Structure formats: C-alpha cells, structure tokens
Amino acid sequence: MGTQKSRKFLLCCAIALFATAAFGQGIYMESNTSGGPLGDKVMPSKTFMMPKMFRQEGNNEVTIMRLDREKVYHLDPEKKTYSEMTFAELEEAAKKASAEMNSHMAEMQAKMKDMPEAQRQMMEKMMGGKIAGMMSEGKIEVSGPGEKKTISGYSCAKFAATKDGKDYVTIWATKDIKGFDVLRKDWEQFSSKMMSMVPNGKGLADAFKKVEGVAIQTDMAGITTLVTKVEQQSTPASQFEVPAGYTKVDSPLKQATAH
C-alpha cells in the first residue's frame, strides 16, 4: 500500500509540477489537486524553487530534486525517514515500472474481452480506467492559445493536448507572471525528471514545453491542479537538504522494480 500511495502522490506531483513558475531568485507556490485517485479529497501542496533546486510538500510527503547533484530525495516527515535515487536510477526504475504496467494492462485487457459488460466495467475501474489510458504511449499534439478566462486572478489562455486524436490534457496558462523565462530551463528539467516517474512521462513533459506561459490550471485524467498563490521568494538552501536526524531507507520505487 505504501508503494501505491507513493505512486499516486508522484502522479499528482508530476501534474502539479507543470504549474510551477520561476522568476527573480526563486518562487513559492500553493496549489490544490483533486479528482482521480484522490476521489473527493483535495490535496494541497506547496512548491519552492530556486536555481537548480526544487522542493514540493504534500500528502505528508516531501520531494526534493537537485539538478546540481542529479539526485531526487523523498522524505517522510512523520517517520523521519528518507530515500534517495540518482537520476540514472530513477530513469531505469521508471522504465521497468512502465514495462511492467504495460504488460499487466495488456494481459488484463485480453482477459476482459470475454467478461460480461458489468464485470468488465468493474475491472476497468479497478485498473485505473481513464488514468491508465492517459498514461499509455501515443502521439501527443498541442493546440493553442485559444479561449481565454480569468483563473486565480490571472488572465489565462487555453492549450489543449490530444493523444492519438483523443482529448488528453487541458492547460490554462498565463503570461501575467513576469520573469518566468529566468528559470524556465530549470523548470523544464524538473518537469522532465519528475515525469520520468510515470508512464509516458516524456510525452507529457514535451507537450508542456509547448505551452506559452505559466500553467495555472491543469486538467488530466479527471485530476485537476489549480494554482491558488504565486509569490517571489528566496528559499534558504537548507530547505533543499535532508534534515538532520532522518534515517535513510530504500526507495519504494526502486524496491517495486527490483525483481
């Protein structure tokens, strides 16, 4: 259950990360994620970003990513434990996880063809339904900017991504936040590494590179992430380190793909 919880959190973090902006020396952002595996629950998160350093807090977990070290850390503040993986280990584990999921999905889909309709629908829901489909591989195309509306006080334009011609992700982005380009390269690297933790992550990261401005609202697979607050803020370097007194444990993602 711990590994499943971590994977759900990583998916939500990955989507929330697309809303990250950067200007000045750093950024502080608050957002709410709801829907999908969260059900009726709303998961608030806090994001801190400085050059080459990223920290996200939410769901009683903390993710720290260091581009300068090519490492990602996962902290459990309640248990005072942490795990770490190099980017190379992360990408290898993600590849294995993706291959395992695709193999499992193909096997289950073959079995479901002969199931009664009611049973098949129940199995699809248990397997993740829409989310599983969204995470599969496919050709992603992005259109926009299109329709405009105000979200969280920002004037936003709509960008729509399709996969193999079907609705995939909707992003409402703004250009109202000045200085975003200062740390955009870091932002894209963070996005790419975070998205490598979920299947079809590269396609998602590439799609979001085509979005103009800062994502304020993102809708994907029934999951909605809404940015509610964005501020300039210089965060101390100590916030991007593992706190003293934490015990190192094996990464759940590495354990899940070790066999």
Hey, where are the domains in the chain? 2-99+137-256
Angle at 97 between CA 95 and CA 58, to 5 degrees: 105
Torsion of CA 29, 128, 82, 236, to 10 degrees: -10
CA distance 89 to 136: 22
CATH class of 2-99+137-256: mainly beta
28 and 233 in contact (C-beta within 8 Å)?
yes
Among residues 238, 236, 233, the alpha carbon closest in space to that of 25 is found at 233
Taking 70 as the pLDDT cut, the residues of the chain under it are 1-24, 38, 94, 97-106, 108-109, 111-113, 120-138, 178-184, 187-205, 253-259
The SS3 of residue 62 is strand
pLDDT tens, 78-130?
999 999 999 888 777 767 766 666 666 667 667 666 777 777 666 666 554 44
Q: Report which of 47, 113, 97 is spatially closest to residue 200, judged by C-alpha positions.
A: 97
Question: Residue-wise over 224-257: b if at least 16 C-beta within 10 A, else e?
Answer: bbbbeebeeeebeeeebeeeeeeeeeebbbbebb
Residues 240 and 62 sit within 8 Å (Cβ to Cβ):
no
- Closest of 140, 186, 147 to residue 165, by C-alpha: 140
pTM for the predicted model, two decimal places: 0.69
How many Å apart are CA 216 and CA 153, to the nearest integer?
10
Alpha-carbon distance of 240 to 192, in angstroms, equals 19
